[in-house]
Structure 1
């Protein structure tokens, strides 16, 4: 789901090392490969429980895709104009200053990456438990072992973890393609249609259902913020980047729509709702007992690879912040092992992830991390408009099309998700806000420590 490519700003002397060799089709595959992850298999159960009808279920997936499409097209403008290491942290810093940028980095270190690792590890353990009919008491130990094993693999170096990522990419595509194709060939007693939109099965009403459903589906669509980071290596970013994002996100919407159709065709909506074994049961429905197990193994490999992507990229963020002395114990977090991997930052990430595995379930963790990250995503959308006014002469190799309509759709979509989450899942939203707010005293302390160090150095001179 995550494949971040770091690039440098134009003023950076290393900018010349970036070769503009990427054409449209590699860019398109990067977009789709970055976004499609474990959520496509496991969020259907959560969405169906909040929508209560097949038609509203499919509508939520389509609406989430439209918001993500506008978000991707909007965020790519900043990625192309500010191709610096740190990505979104640098966009926020450029538009709003160091403090909001630090809070984003803090939220990613404390919530976003560890919660992704924890949520996906729980899903991996749950599916392994269902596949081999293991005791439910083994779910947490298996989740911890899965996340720890990937941390150790990443400690062996970027080449090793990158090779694992490439192998698991294939495993991700096989079960998706197989389920979609067989769903069209198989007979079904379940009728699935988009219209009319049915809402009477959900007591909270359509607005509440849409809000809760969108929060769940956004986990599956998450990753679009990183697709703009390939701008520095595109031969023609102004032409190819919007095409790659637009067609890529449309392709993802189609894949998600088809696979959810396959889910709904295999079982009634009330059987799908909150069913943590739904992916395996759907596979068995289409392929029989043995074939279903093989497809489920493919899904497990895919999830394992998705966890690897978050472990690999997540451990480098506290390292990056520590280099700038923005975190407590920065001198420890910058340490590298013999494979040039920030292993102390990796230990920090896995420690937080294990705590989350022990305290939260998949849907709770994934919904919380999406709520928190969408606060900053929405700030990025606003930053596009803000920097158009603040820095009109900034070189923009790509500009968001239909400006300001597409950024406004992304902003309104982001606000809608955040407001409805505060209304429907206030304790979860409050937890995310409080964890992010813990970064405020950390920032103030680090700023004070930096000033004291500067005064001490000046006195000695």
Structure 2
């Protein structure tokens, strides 16, 4: 799975890394996750606390992971860190989980929300949700099969498009003169109930913050990764958290928390209230383009994971999965991801799918945070141009936050988490079978 950085051009700057962090993180979650957040937390104050806590945990995770990104500036990112700390089995399981759960669930969930938004815009019957979602996923896979350049152009357009509705809603939402009253605290402040509500809301916000760790994968192509990568992660995530808090304040200025928690299209509903029907539709179109681009971003990255694993003969049918088409795109890997995503689309469950992928990926994120401690002992002489500040406090906060997310999801969504564990564990017999064949 690890790709050597030899031969890659070192031409990416700090600003490029910063835009990659912000561009990767800001996607559909900021427009659609308020439903799950406020449905779980029930009040404005607890909902805002979930957005703030999600940002703080992510920043602590970024500050912690940046130590590994700077010390091990190799293309591959998280896969490389896990291999160095735990060996090949754990890094293999990450790749397997990304192939079977993380990327397909992202593509499926985003396709469902794209379809929901399209139906909201056009007034079509909700029975068309699944067909539109499948059509969106297929169209993006086809675009990627046409070549990286075409997929990259789509990504550039979508990155610009998603900033327009974001800042329009923030500016006009905060200036909106309505009669919405904030209820900062829940009526029932029982500790167990409050922690459970906050935990469920937190898992929802983390989907909106997800994607930040992927910037580590471009370390091998940065001009000065040791200095610029940590700064890009921290500055980018701080800016994203500020934007998320502002847009949620704008939402709450226009609609009460209960109303936000009751609609699958909160951003579009807020836009319609601010701008009326015509203006609201224009903002909705911008959101649609943003979601489409986010699906494309996860597709571009995702189809290369099974391809990289196939190069090391780590998957069944590796000989097929490592084949490239005429445009030098791993076509069979793309089709594999599409097939898994389509199966997930048939569930029609956006929030369930996003909670599933967050649960699975945060198991590995937490292992990355622990890897900072392991590698300080295992490789004390490793040159660390950047070290996690306030060590061991910041890494411990990241680990505690990660454990809280995983355990809370286990307790509140036992069926969903059992599915995530099962899909990840399927990779174990395949790994041992492949290892046995190598040594035979």
TM band (smaller chain): over 0.9
CA distance in 1 between partners of 2:245 and 2:363 (Å): 26
For residues 216 and 187 of structure 2, the distance between their equivalents in structure 1, rounded to whole angstroms, comes to 37
Partners of 1:117 and 1:346 in 2: how far apart? Answer: 12
Match of 2:357 in 1: 369
Separation (CA, whole Å) in 2 of partners of 1:239 and 1:84: 14
Q: Secondary structure at the match of 2:418?
A: helix
Q: Give how far 1:13 is off.
A: 4.0
Give the match for residue 9 of structure 2: 18
Whole-angstrom CA distance in 2 between matches of 1:338 and 1:387: 42
Shift of 1:399: 2.1
**Inter-partner Cα distance in structure 2 for 1:114 and 1:287:** 35
Return the alpha-carbon distance in structure 1 between the equivalents of residues 418 and 185 of structure 2.
Answer: 32
Does the CA contact (< 8 Å) of 1:117 and 1:353 recur in 2?
yes
Q: Distance in 2 between matches of 1:431 and 1:78?
A: 31
Structure 2 residue 435 is the aligned partner of structure 1 residue 447: yes
Q: Secondary structure at the match of 2:346?
A: helix
Offset, 1:134: 0.6
Secondary structure of the corresponding residue to residue 359 of structure 1: coil
Looking at structure 2, the residues matched to 74 and 374 of structure 1 have their Cα atoms a distance apart, in angstroms, of 14
Select 1:88's aligned residue among 57, 72, 78: 78
Does the 8 A contact of 1:378 with 1:410 survive in 2?
A: yes
1:445–1:165 distance in 2 versus 1, CA, 3 Å: same
Q: Distance in 1 between matches of 2:271 and 2:192?
A: 31
1:3 maps to what in 2?
A: none
Structure 2 residue 328 is matched with structure 1 residue 337 = no
Partners of 2:377 and 2:196 lie apart in 1 by 36
- How big is the shift at 1:27? 3.2
Alpha-carbon distance between aligned partners in 2 of 1:410 and 1:199, rounded to the nearest angstrom:
30
Query: Could you tell me how far apart the structure 1 residues matched to 2:295 and 2:12 are?
Result: 29
User: Matched residues in 1 for 2:238 and 2:78: separation?
Assistant: 23
Mapped to 2, the partners of 1:276 and 1:165 lie a distance apart of 25
d(CA) in 1 for partners of 2:12 and 2:180? 48
Q: Hey, what's the Cα distance between the residues in 2 that align with 1:144 and 1:230?
A: 30
Distance in 2 (CA, whole Å) between partners of 1:27 and 1:13 is 20
1:111 aligns with 2:101: yes
- The answer as to 2:233 corresponding to 1:242 is no
Shift of 1:397: 3.3
Q: In structure 2, how many angstroms separate the alpha carbons of the residues matched to 1:90 and 1:244?
A: 20
CA distance in 2, matches of 1:150, 1:233: 26
User: Alignment partner for residue 399 of structure 1, among 382, 387, 401?
Assistant: 387
Deviation at 1:199, TM superposition (A): 5.2
Unaligned runs of 5+ residues in structure 2 are none
Equivalent in 96, 100, 105 of residue 90 of structure 2: 100
CA contact (8 A) 2:75 2:219 kept: no
SS of residue paired to 1:338: coil
Residue among 251, 261, 264 paired with 1:263: 251
Partner of 2:371: 383
Could you list the per-position Cα deviations for residues 63-122 of structure 1 after superposition, in whole angstroms to 9, with x for gaps in the alignment?
A: 000000011111122222223333212211111111111111110000000000000000
Q: Distance in 1 between matches of 2:164 and 2:185?
A: 32
- Are the aligned partners of 1:192 and 1:261 in contact in 2 as well (CA < 8 Å)? no
Query: Among 308, 311, 326, which residue is 1:320 paired with?
Result: 308
Q: Give the conservation status (yes or no) of the 8 Å contact 1:153–1:160.
A: yes
8 A Cα contact 2:77 2:219, kept in partner? no
1:379-431 CA distance string (max 9 Å, x none): 00000110011001123333222222111110000001111111111111111
Tell me, which stretches of 5 or more residues in structure 1 are unaligned? 1-5, 453-461
Pairing of 1:169-248 with structure 2 (within 5 A): 169-192=159-182, 197-198=185-186, 200=188, 205-248=193-236
**Alignment CA distance shift 1:412-1:204 (3 Å):** closer
Q: Distance in 1 between matches of 2:232 and 2:300?
A: 25
C-alpha change, 1:154 and 1:309, in structure 2 (3 Å) is same
Cα distance in 2, alignment partners of residues 248 and 337 from structure 1? 35
Q: Distance in 1 between matches of 2:220 and 2:434?
A: 33
2:17 and 2:319 map into 1 onto residues whose CA distance is 37
